[in-house]
Amino acid sequence: MRADARKNRDHLLAVAGTAITEQGVDASMRDIARRAGVGLATLLRHFPTREALLEALLHTSFDELTTKADELEKSASPEDALVSWLRDCVAWTTEYRGVTVLMAAAIEDTESALHASCVTLRAAGARLLARAQAEGAARGDIDGTDLFALIAALAWLGDQPSLAPRADHLFDVVASAILTSAAGGPAGEERRPRTRG
């Protein structure tokens, strides 16, 4: 890759990062190019599709999440590891407004530039889930894809301005559905933390 091309690529990635953080993943490609002081064609040659751009941008974040899953698998209880990782996943998506829809589309689309990353993420979650299920800490009738879908749904909630205020609370509700031990009590009863101690 030629030196000028490399420079342009790096600069475009930096500018795209701020633009997408500000305006969400639907930020105008033309606008990103403009803010980078570059023609639209240049942006589109480096990143032929919006997904390709996002892949380059989010790659490290994906890696961090899978690494985190590995760490939690060793350090925390199955239950805490699962819930804590889920929370991290959902929290992460809030940085990139709108990314959920693209991830949902990418998980089954082998052509998508985001496909591999999404599959890796699902696998990491599946491992944590299986570990929790083996101990009876998580219900047995869900798998990695279900988990991915639940993460996506909760992340989508956080993306909707009107529903976002409830996202944290509803995370707890859904988490309680995943965990076997939180099968509920009478109405109004306070749910107690169940950290293994």
Partner DNA sequence: CACTTATCTGGAGCACTGATCCGAATAACC
Partner DNA sequence: GGTTATTCGGATCAGTGCTCCAGATAAGTG
Residues that bind a second copy (CB under 8 A): 101, 104-105, 107-109, 133-134, 136-142, 145-146, 148-150, 152-154, 156-157, 160-163, 166-167, 169-170, 173-174, 176-195
Which one, of 86, 167, 67, lies nearest residue 132 by Cα?
Answer: 86
Q: Tokens for 79? A: 């239950």
Contacts of 183 (CB under 8 A, 6+ apart): 176
Residue 62 partner contact from a second copy, DNA, none using kind-dependent CB cut-offs of 5 to 8 Å = none
Restricted to residues 30-59, the positions that interact with DNA (CB under 7 A) are 30-31, 37-42, 44-46, 48-50
Can you tell me the distance from the alpha carbon of 151 to that of 170, in angstroms, rounded to the nearest whole number?
11
Using CA atoms, how far apart are residues 143 and 69, in angstroms rounded to an integer?
Answer: 16
> In the complex with DNA, which residue's Cβ is closer, 12 or 126?
12
Cβ closest to DNA, residue 27 vs residue 65: 27
96-125 binders of DNA (CB under 7 A): none
Q: Cα separation of 24 and 126, whole Å?
A: 28
For the CB of residue 4, give the shortest distance to a second copy in the complex, in Å. Answer: 39
Query: What CA–CA distance (Å, rounded) separates 98 from 81?
Result: 26
Min dist. Cβ of residue 9 to a second copy (A): 30
- Catalog residues that contact DNA under the rule CB under 7 A: 1-5, 8, 26-31, 37-42, 44-46, 48-50
